Chain A
């Protein structure tokens, strides 16, 4: 059971927008910064968003992040078949003194 809660799967058509939610508590999301990762099994995960809403160099602005209270959201616009992957949220948990991840969300581009 993950500390952060994500939907197991989401889907949308090419060109459309999708959002992935990540729910936590005051000890993690509520008082720390959230990051998001793209992961294809067998490959290295890729950082998409850090500090809630910042994009690393090279990440297109189709990807966006936001945070409100104890929840965070990853948005992806202009969906492409190449976006199909697992997406994870992560943050620091001040009570556990540990990094925590969500269980991951599988994105299907129909």
Chain B
């Protein structure tokens, strides 16, 4: 069974840092683009970061310079390093697999169950 399992969510103070992990299984991890998507309670889905099979990375303006996505193919793992956290970063964070290659075709066919990040003093 193809599966993604996130971990690392926690309560952190504003200005703090946190590292999320996502463990992949059931498919050849290295062959797929991977993403992080978040949802603030009561609001819509927001894409947070992407990393391609060649480790090229992309971010929205809202997190660029604060968040870093990385992958470790040998461990079938995806990471999101989050620094300078703000209250507005409080959300459920999902890791997701890109269904195919080519950024113009981006779609997410496998999602994790999500991990909660709360930024509060």
Residues of A with Cβ closer than 8 Å to B? Answer: 2, 31-33, 35, 37, 39, 41-47, 50-51, 56, 86, 88, 90-92, 94, 96-104
Contact = CB atoms under 8 A, between A and B. Distances in A.
B46 interface: yes
A56 B99 contact: yes
A47 B47 contact: no
Contacts of A46: 111
Given A90-B47, A98-B58, 14 more contacts: A2-B44, A35-B106, A37-B45, A39-B39, A41-B41, A42-B92, A45-B45, A46-B111, A50-B105, A50-B107, A51-B100, A92-B106, A94-B104, A104-B45
Interface residues of B, number: 28
B109 A56 contact: yes
Given A2-B44, A35-B107, A90-B106, A99 B35 contact: yes
25 contacts: A31-B104, A33-B104, A35-B108, A39-B39, A41-B41, A42-B92, A43-B113, A45-B37, A45-B45, A45-B94, A45-B108, A47-B108, A50-B105, A51-B105, A86-B44, A90-B45, A92-B104, A97-B58, A98-B60, A99-B35, A99-B58, A100-B47, A101-B44, A101-B45, A103-B44
